[in-house]
Structure 1
Amino acid sequence: MHETDVCILGAGPAGATAALHLATKGIPSLLIDKAVFPRDKVCGDALSGKVVNELRRISPELPALLGAQQEALPSWGIHFISPGGQKLSVPFKYDYRPEQDVPAGYISKRVDFDNFLIEQVRQRPEVELWEGVALHKYERTAQGGFVLSDKQGQPLVQARLLLVANGAQSGFTRHVAGLEQEPEHYCAGLRAYYRGVAGMDADNFIELHFFRDFLPGYLWVFPLPGGQANVGVGMLSSEVSRKKINLKKEMLQMLATHPDLKQRFANAELIDSIRGYGLPLGSRKRVISGDSYMLLGDAGALIDPFTGEGISNAMISGRWAAAQAAQCLEQQDFSAAFMRGYDKAVYNRLWKELRLSRQMQKLLKYPWLFNQLASKASKNQALAETISCMFNDIDMRQRLRQPSFYMRLLFN
């Protein structure tokens, strides 16, 4: 049985980021994933400016290294299409210049981006990477920590500290940490890859469509390298159950019949199966640590409730988990009380954003307000610039919670 101080379960963005930050601190770790890389992960594939910032925190040269990958497509903004059909275009940087500026974000299939991070991990002698190893049992030891066993019950690892980053379906999250899926804070999603979608933005803006008949859900179209597109839908699980919605049927019908999409998809080719996945949303605070463990990324339910973005928040949690692990080893304290420092650090960084996104999610109940916002911004440069800044400045985004913002919007 392998013995280690720090074991990381799951080698996606959260786990790989944690391993890389620990390596920089000179702390060895064991990183385990049930898959063998490169492997696919069902996702929207968008990499926001927050992802780029987290790459820079790992190593200053990583953003440029990502940008040099042919599998990474630079993206300059978002098109929001309101229920009334108005297009609100929000650049990640106002008055951007694609030929000169460094891209704020990228779009890259998860099979490529996750492997990009794993290639960084492979270069670090401090990280021992186990691929193709599935763990099914987590037992506490009398001395503290855990023994991890495979499906046959064979003990494989004894660890003093677990960083749990094995995704939305984490058995550890449910059976040990006691976090249950809550339909009001959980999103059901579908993803498909298409080739030959017409009318894609020249600057690779991603598209979020909020159709009146599909609220409070949304449909996305994200450009990808090689003329492909990531196309999908997402909706709160509580709404899917309440309205008895067949997401696959609804998605295909919208692509075939909606006036904004049917011509664009008339000659498009579905090149992969339509796959489903769940998104545990960070729309309420949870306890994401305990005796000798921390929950990272999707395992800790940290996905943005409005945009569905999870990669950047996963990487942020990985960074703070590495910092907490270093303190635990230095103080030789792995207690739940000491581990609360991780919860505090993660929510100090993310909770304001998550709370605001929850409020924006609730705005979907008022499609007329969304229409008004999009209509005004399309004609008012100052308002458009303000909204653009909101996506980079959390304090400015707080205006969306203030009734006075909407009064000025409606009557000016």
Structure 2
Amino acid sequence: MRHVDICILGAGPGGATAALHLANAGQPVLLLDKATFPRDKICGDALSGKVLSELRRLGPDLPGRLSASVAQVPSWGIDFFAPNGQRLAVPFQPHYDKTVDASAGHVMKRLDFDNFLVEEVRRRPEIELLEGADVAQPERTTDGRWLLRTTDGREIASARLLLVANGAQSAFARQIAGHALEPAHHCAGVRAYYEGVTGLSPDNFIELHFIQDFLPGYLWVFPLPNGQANVGAGMLTKAVSAKKVNLRERMTEMLETHPALKERFREARRLGPIKGFGLPLGSKRRVISGAGYLLLGDAASLIDPFSGEGISHAMVSGRHAADWATRALAANDTSGAFLQQYDTAVYRRLGQELRLSHWLQRLLQFPALFNFVANRAANNPTLAETISGMFLDLDLRERLRQPSFYLKLLFGRK
């Protein structure tokens, strides 16, 4: 059995990022995952500019290596489709030039992106990666360490600190950290891969369709390499229950009957089944640490409430987890009180963004307002550019919460 200072559960973006930052600091770490990579993960597959920023922190060459991969396509923006059908094109970078600018986003299957990170992990001698390690619920021993056994009872490790990055269904987060599933702060989603979808953006804009009779949910279409697309639908679990929605059936129905989609999917072929998943959203601040442990990524319920983005937030939490794990070992203090500083660091970085996204999520209850903004922006380049900037500038995004923003729109001064 291994006796280590730090053990990480889960080698997805959060866990792999934490391991790589620890390795960069010269800290040995044990990384466990029940899967063997490459493995699939149900996700929208979009990688935002924040993902590239976090990759750059891990190694200056990583964004370039990702961009050079044939498994990704560069994405230059988002096409929003309002409930009235109005399209609002929002580039990630206004006035971009594909011949000289680096794209601010990418779309890449999680099968490939997670393996991209794991391959980087394999290069690092400081990291011991154990795949196929199906770990039962860790137990706290009398000396304050965590004992880790496989589900068949084999003891594999004892650790001072546990970094829990084992996903949205984390039993540790529920049973030890006390995170209950709250339907008002949880999203249900479905996803499938298609080929032969027509009308995709030549600049690989990702599409978000806010369809009137599917609100407060939305449907997405994200372009992928080789003529494929990631297609899915998501809705607050609270709304799914109240409306008695079968997401698989509704997604299929919308693709077959909605005026903006049916012709584009008429000759498309679905590649495999429609798979379901659940996402604990960051619309509520939770305690994400305790005595001897830190929660990362989806296990910490850090998913963006509006966009559903979780990869970059997992990587941000992985970076801060590595930092505070190192500090805790240096101080010889793994108490809950000391590790609470990790919570503060994570929410200092992500808290405002999560609050604003929660407010945007609530805007979906007012489709007429969504239609109004989309109609104005479609005919006002200055407003469209302002909305584009909101994806990179939180101060600009804050304006969406101010009544004066809509008054200016109403009276034509924006």
TM-score, length of structure 1 as denominator length: 0.99
Q: Which residue of 2 aligns with 1:340?
A: 340
| Number of the residue aligned with 1:288 | 288
* Distance in structure 2 (CA, Å) of the matches to 1:342 and 1:164: 13
Q: Which amino acid aligns with 2:338?
A: F
- TM-superposed deviation, 1:151: 1.5
Which structure 2 residues correspond to residues 281-320 of structure 1 after superposition, within 5 A?
281-320=281-320
Distance of 2:151 and 2:26 partners within structure 1: 32
Match status 1:82 vs 2:93: no
Deviations 1:222-268 (A, max 9, x none): 00000000000000000000110010110000000000000000000
Aligned residue number for residue 259 of structure 1: 259
Written as runs of structure 1 = structure 2, the 5 A alignment for 1:251-400 is 251-400=251-400
Residues 104-151 of structure 1, C-alpha deviations (whole Å, 9 max, x = no match): 010000000000000100000000000001011211011112101122
SS of corresponding position for 1:272: strand
Q: Secondary structure, in 3 states, of the residue corresponding to 1:189?
A: strand
**Aligned match of 2:193:** 193
Name the aligned partner's letter for residue 391 of structure 1: F
Alignment check: 8 A CA contact 1:181 1:280 kept:
yes
Q: Which residue of 1 aligns with 2:64?
A: 64
Mind listing any 5+ residue stretches in structure 1 that lack a counterpart? Answer: none
Q: What is the rounded CA distance, in whole Å, between the counterparts of 1:76 and 1:220 in structure 2? A: 16
Q: What letter matches 2:199 in structure 1?
A: G
CA distance in 2, matches of 1:243, 1:137: 35
1:23 is matched by which residue type in structure 2?
A
* Cα separation, 1, equivalents of 2:378 and 2:277: 34
AA aligned opposite 2:12: G
Which residue is 1:22 aligned to?
22
Aligned partner of 1:10 in structure 2 is 10
Matches of residues 168-183 of structure 1 in structure 2 within 5 Å? 168-183=168-183
Partner SS for 2:364: helix
- What is the CA-CA distance between 1:162 and the residue it aligns to? 0.3
User: After superposition, where does 1:37-52 map in structure 2 within 5 Å?
Assistant: 37-52=37-52
Contact map agreement 1:161 1:334 (CA 8 A) in 2: yes
How many Å separate the matches in 1 of 2:125 and 2:327?
Answer: 21
List structure 1 segments (4+ residues) > 3 angstroms apart after TM superposition. none
- Please list, as runs of the form range in 1=range in 2, the aligned pairs for 1:61-140 lying within 5 A after superposition: 61-140=61-140
C-alpha distance after superposition, 1:172-218 (max 9, x if no partner): 11111111111000000000000000000000000000000000000
Distance of 2:147 and 2:111 partners within structure 1: 30
Shift of 1:411: 2.1
**Aligned pairs for 1:153-164 within 5 A:** 153-164=153-164
Determine if contact 1:162/1:293 at 8 Å carries over to the other structure: yes
SS in 2 for 1:60: coil
Q: Distance in 1 between matches of 2:341 and 2:319?
A: 13
Kindly provide the CA deviation profile for residues 75-103 of structure 1, in whole angstroms up to 9, marking residues without a partner as x: 00000000001011110000001111001
Report the alpha carbon displacement of residue 152 of structure 1 after superposing the two structures with TM.
2.6
Paired residue secondary structure (2:112):
helix
- Distance apart, 1:156 and its partner CA: 1.6
Give the partner amino acid of 2:39.
R
Report deviation, 1:153: 2.7
Is residue 135–residue 149 contact of structure 1 (8 Å, CA) maintained in 2?
yes
Say whether the 8 Å CA contact 1:75–1:106 is kept in structure 2.
Answer: yes
CA displacement 1:296-323 (0-9 Å, x = unmatched): 0000000000000000000000000000
| SS in structure 1 of the partner of residue 254 of structure 2 | helix
Asked if the contact 1:282/1:354 (under 8 Å) is kept, the reply is: yes
Q: 1:63 and 1:394 mapped to 2: Cα distance?
A: 23
Equivalent residue, structure 1, for 2:209: 209
User: What is the letter of the counterpart of residue 70 of structure 1?
Assistant: V
**1:334-381 superposed Cα distances (whole Å, 9 cap, x missing partner):** 000000110000000000000000000000011010001011001101
Q: What CA distance in whole angstroms lies between the structure 2 residues aligned with 1:178 and 1:149?
A: 21
The CA RMSD over aligned residues, in Å, is: 0.6
Q: Residue 187 of structure 1 contacts residue 235 of structure 1 at CA under 8 Å; is this kept in 2?
A: yes
Query: What secondary structure does 2:272 align onto?
Result: coil
1:267 counterpart letter in structure 2: E
After TM superposition, give the deviation of residue 154 of structure 1 in Å.
2.6
1: CA distance, partners of 2:411 / 2:280: 38
Does the CA contact (< 8 Å) of 1:164 and 1:295 recur in 2? yes
SS at match of 1:312: helix
CA distance in 1, matches of 2:277, 2:140: 30
Aligned ranges 1:138-149 → 2 under 5 Å: 138-149=138-149
Instruction: Tell me the CA shift for residue 405 of structure 1.
Output: 0.6
Aligned to 2:165: 165
Q: Identity of counterpart residues, as a percentage? A: 61
Structure 2 counterpart SS, 1:365: coil
Shift of 1:68: 0.6
- Rounded to whole Å, the distance in 2 between the matches of 1:137 and 1:190 is 28
User: Helix, strand or coil for the counterpart of 2:273?
Assistant: coil
User: CA separation in 2, counterparts of 1:125 and 1:180?
Assistant: 37
Report how many residues are paired. Answer: 412
What amino acid sits opposite 1:43 in the alignment? Answer: C
Structure 2 gaps of 5+ residues are none
